[in-house]
């Protein structure tokens, strides 16, 4: 949530931010159920009411001693007392008006996205900036296949039976497919917690492992910005008299671990990692990626979350990006790093880097991780603060999150990049210890 003072005192700044994101205050008002509201006028009314109220309060403060003096000296204070009665009524009217204005702001604020970092380019997806590429896409002496064909031929992915069980956008993993998914989860967790084989991770790149709940409350989702704006993207359950939501990402429970808490500066940055299932209705994505594992209702993801002091959060974002890249480097998968433009970023993000892995079956780079600095946006919503030094006034900290990585998409990248002409798939060296030493995946038939 952005600072309400910004909306109240500088609505033009908020309007410019929305313009950069391809939206407007009118769009936000429609989402919040308010229409035909002039924020510039409301801001003036608020300022005038505050000025008038404060002047009347000052008059009350100065009249008090004057009334006391008159009474002490035997004078007649009745006129002044009557005047103060009228002043008190005016103050009450102004305070009621200000309360209504604040209520209006409170209805709009949950629908306003985060402010955009100045380094972020303006525009939609076409304005995204490719920063660099790592690794060369493989060259095949045969026509490479997409993972949905390879997976079916190898007998490791089954979309038809999944549809029988649950409908579209689900998958059944068989045999080596299930083992590969499990191997990727364990490999990523070991890497991010500093326990993987190979070059050790520096201390600043080691995360604390967490298993959070997979069902959360509406308050928890509000803390990270999924509610109220994105309720259509969530799966909601009801047990007895309780409403709970399946998590769309581990970012939600991990960030809310410190909701309404004050952390000490000496404990920052805090770095957490969790491997969880994620559940998304994919509302608004019908017709996109209908085949395969790219856009599923249920998938696994290893999520990275950080809590950092504002002055170091951008450095922590760079570190998080490097941590996600390290997974791709150890798996020897070709990828590129993209800085997202303002109109292509997520609702809570101030700055986002995407990692896109090359998929030979589509001859394209596809997103496999987004690493975002949410600045103080989520911290303000969730009441997460830190104390810069002992006994100092608490301040809002910054939260960051990123995929380290999306497991199903990583499996897709391995199957497609490591495929052979005979339809088998080579297992990357880094994963072989997690696959019982196996070096390849072949059809069982």
Residue 366, φ and ψ in degrees, nearest 5: -125, 145
Strand ranges, E, within 49-187: 129-134, 157-158, 172-173
Phi-psi region of 86 (alpha: psi -120 to 50; beta: other; left: phi over 0): alpha
Token code pair at residue 340: 């997202």
Give CA–CA dist 108/29, Å, rounded. Answer: 7
Place of tokens 């950092």: 308
Q: Which helix (H) or strand (E) holds 301?
A: strand 298-308
Token code pair at residue 347: 């609702």
Q: What number of CA atoms fall less than 13 Å from residue 71's CA on the CB side? A: 11
Calculate the dihedral angle through the C-alpha atoms of 171, 172, 176, 182, rounding to the nearest 10 degrees: 70
Closest of 354, 355, 401 to residue 377, by C-alpha: 401
Cβ atoms of 252 and 232 closer than 8 Å: no
Residue 392: Cβ within 10 Å count: 10
Give CA–CA dist 56/53, Å, rounded. Answer: 5
Give CA–CA dist 114/61, Å, rounded. Answer: 40
Residues acting as catalytic residues: 280, 295, 367, 370, 409
């Amino acid at each position: 949530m952005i600072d309400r003072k910004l909306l109240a005192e500088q609505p033009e700044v908020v309007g410019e931010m929305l313009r950069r994101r391809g939206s407007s205050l009118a769009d936000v008002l429609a989402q919040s159920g308010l229409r035909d509201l002039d924020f510039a006028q409301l801001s003036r009314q608020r300022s005038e009411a505050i000025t008038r109220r404060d002047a009347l309060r000052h008059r009350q403060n100065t009249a008090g001693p004057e009334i006391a003096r008159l009474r002490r000296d035997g004078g007649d204070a009745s006129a002044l007392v009557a005047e103060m009665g009228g002043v008190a009524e005016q103050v009450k009217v102004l305070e009621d008006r200000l309360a209504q204005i604040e209520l209006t702001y409170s209805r709009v604020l949950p629908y306003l996205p985060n402010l955009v970092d100045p380094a972020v380019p303006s525009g939609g997806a076409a304005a995204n900036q490719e920063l660099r590429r790592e690794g060369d896409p493989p060259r095949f002496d045969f026509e490479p296949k997409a993972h949905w064909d390879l997976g079916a031929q190898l007998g490791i992915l089954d979309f038809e039976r999944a549809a029988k069980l649950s409908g579209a956008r689900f998958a059944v993993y068989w045999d080596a497919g299930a083992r590969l998914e499990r191997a990727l989860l364990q490999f990523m967790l070991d890497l991010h917690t500093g326990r993987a084989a190979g070059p050790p991770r520096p201390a600043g790149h080691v995360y604390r492992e967490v298993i959070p709940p997979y069902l959360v409350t509406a308050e928890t989702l509000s803390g990270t910005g999924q509610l109220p704006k994105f309720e259509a993207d969530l799966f909601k359950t009801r047990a007895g008299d309780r409403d709970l939501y399946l998590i769309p990402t581990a970012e939600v429970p991990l960030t809310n671990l410190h909701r309404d808490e004050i952390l000490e500066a000496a404990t920052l940055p805090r770095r957490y990692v969790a491997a969880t299932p994620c559940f998304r209705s994919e509302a608004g994505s019908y017709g996109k990626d209908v085949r395969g594992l790219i856009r599923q209702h249920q998938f696994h993801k290893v999520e990275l979350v950080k809590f950092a002091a504002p002055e170091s959060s951008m450095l922590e974002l760079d570190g998080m990006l490097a941590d996600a890249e390290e997974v791709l480097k150890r798996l020897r998968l070709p990828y590129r790093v993209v800085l997202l433009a303002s109109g292509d970023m997520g609702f809570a993000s101030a700055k986002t880097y995407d990692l896109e892995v090359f998929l030979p079956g589509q001859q394209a780079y596809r997103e496999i991780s987004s690493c975002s600095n949410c600045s103080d946006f989520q911290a303000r919503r969730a009441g997460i603060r830190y104390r810069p030094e002992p006994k100092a006034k608490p301040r809002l900290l910054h939260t960051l999150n990123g995929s380290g990585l999306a497991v199903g998409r990583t499996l897709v990248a391995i199957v497609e990049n490591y495929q052979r002409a005979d339809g088998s798939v080579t297992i990357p060296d880094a994963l072989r210890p997690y696959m019982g030493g196996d070096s390849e995946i072949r059809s069982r038939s």
